[in-house]
């Protein structure tokens, strides 16, 4: 199957995203001078490594000067200051200099952790993203957001630090659990909801094929998602404006994750899916969006096996005051005012900073009591 590629145009820090099957088997060739004759350190987790790490090592071995690997525990618990410190100490213990290349080989947790390690190690070394989950391939590996969680909330400690390249190997998704695949699909749906009604139409017709890993549909969905994110990042790399649209569903979603304590009962994509349903419900409650648009959004989420609100969350629901407490710690809060990504229609999202708290409270209480 033909590979697809695009460039995230950030001037001297521009990088390519390559999408297609079998990329890790030729990782050294694909990355060229980025990886040639360098000390390469692969960071992975204990779910991905047994399945795919040897293939990646074989792909790098012809061109690497030296190869090392570190495998951390899978899951959000590794994405912490303690996890970051352990990883950095382990890397420093083997002896590195600024010519080292870190490779994030895993899902969103590994990408965020290894990326922040690269931003911090020796005040910044090169890294490459090789995402192994659908969520990471369409979202978290692109755009340079790296970081770890804090007690106060998700992703509150980190840095904007762009990779040198992204290799999205679609063959890796064959071993992804169905639930993880659906969670990643939530981020695909997000791109249609926030700015591309035509893509949402396409997903309504082809979403089942994407989730069945039909090669053409899968590659098209990943490419369209990455292209949408790349264009937003190019316009607003550090989230001072338009990039905030990428947080559709995340203000609610991060609160659900905090309540669930990042313990694996609730996946990030599931939380975001429920959050997107609530964002449309809130838009309707404020008179910004028609009910049919919200119904259509939630119907597609439900048809894809995803939550569309609090009542269908596997974990993380709570009374309104608890959820609001977490939401007020969200990075989009400015001067104590919560900012939400809302919608006028499917494909027409915007940031709203004047949402009456009683309206949000009523929405959350209704969702909590519906369970």
> Domains (ranges, CATH) in the chain?
4-175 (3.40.50.1970), 178-369 (1.20.1090.10)
* pLDDT tens-place string over residues 93-141: 999 999 999 999 999 999 999 999 999 999 999 999 999 999 999 999 9
pLDDT band at residue 154 using 50, 70 and 90 as cut-offs: confident
Q: Torsion-angle region of residue 7: left (phi > 0), alpha (psi -120 to 50) or beta?
A: beta
* Residues noted as catalytic: 123, 145, 187, 229, 239, 243, 247, 250, 254, 268
* pLDDT tens-place string over residues 273-322: 999 999 999 999 999 999 999 999 999 999 999 999 999 999 999 999 99
| pLDDT of 1 higher than 70 | no
CB atoms within 10 A of CB 370: 11
Q: List all residues 6 or more positions away from 225 whose beta carbon is below 8 Å from its beta carbon.
A: 138, 139, 187, 188, 191
Helices (H), the chain: 27-31, 54-60, 81-94, 108-120, 134-135, 178-195, 197-211, 215-235, 250-260, 268-285, 291-303, 320-327, 357-369
| pLDDT of 264 higher than 90 | no
* pLDDT tens-place string over residues 25-73: 999 999 999 999 999 999 999 999 999 999 999 999 999 999 999 999 9
In sequence order, the β-bridge partners of residue 67 are: 40
pLDDT band at residue 353 using 50, 70 and 90 as cut-offs: confident
Per-residue model confidence (pLDDT) at position 331: 66
Mean per-residue pLDDT, 234-249: 94
Per-residue model confidence (pLDDT) at position 89: 98
pLDDT band at residue 270 using 50, 70 and 90 as cut-offs: very high
Six token digits for residue 109:
């947790």
- The overall average pLDDT reported for the chain is 96
């Amino acid at each position: 199957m033909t590979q697809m590629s695009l460039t995230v145009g950030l001037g001297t820090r521009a990088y390519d995203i390559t999408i297609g099957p079998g990329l890790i088997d030729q990782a050294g060739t694909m990355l060229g001078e980025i990886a040639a004759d360098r000390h390469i350190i692969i960071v992975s987790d204990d779910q991905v490594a047994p399945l795919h790490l040897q293939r990646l090592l074989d792909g790098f071995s012809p061109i690497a000067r030296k190869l090392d690997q570190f495998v951390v525990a899978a899951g959000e618990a590794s994405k912490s200051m303690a996890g970051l410190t352990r990883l950095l100490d382990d890397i420093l213990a083997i002896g590195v200099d600024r010519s080292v290349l870190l490779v994030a080989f895993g899902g969103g947790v590994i990408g965020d952790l290894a990326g922040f390690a690269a931003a911090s190690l020796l005040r910044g070394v090169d890294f490459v993203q090789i995402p192994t989950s659908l969520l990471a391939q369409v979202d978290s590996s692109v755009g340079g957001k790296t970081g770890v969680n804090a007690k106060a909330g998700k992703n509150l400690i980190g840095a904007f630090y762009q990779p040198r390249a992204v290799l999205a190997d679609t063959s890796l998704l064959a071993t992804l659990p169905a639930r993880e695949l659906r969670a990643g699909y939530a981020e695909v749906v997000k791109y249609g909801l926030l700015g591309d009604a035509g893509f949402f139409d396409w997903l309504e017709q082809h979403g089942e094929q994407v989730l069945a890993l039909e090669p053409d549909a899968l590659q098209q969905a990943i490419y369209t998602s990455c292209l949408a994110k790349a264009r937003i990042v190019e316009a607003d790399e550090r989230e001072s404006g338009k990039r905030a649209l990428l947080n559709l569903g995340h203000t609610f979603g991060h609160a659900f994750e905090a309540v669930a304590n990042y313990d694996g009962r609730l996946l990030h994509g599931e939380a975001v899916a429920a959050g997107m349903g609530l964002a449309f419900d809130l838009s309707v409650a404020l008179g910004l969006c028609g009910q049919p648009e919200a119904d259509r959004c939630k119907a597609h989420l439900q048809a894809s096996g995803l939550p569309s609100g609090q009542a269908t969350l596997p974990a993380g629901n709570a009374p309104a005051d608890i959820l609001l407490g977490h939401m007020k710690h969200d990075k989009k809060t400015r001067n104590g005012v919560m900012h939400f990504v809302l919608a006028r229609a499917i494909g027409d999202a915007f940031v709203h900073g004047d949402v009456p708290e009683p309206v949000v409270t009523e929405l959350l209480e209704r969702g909590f009591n519906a369970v």
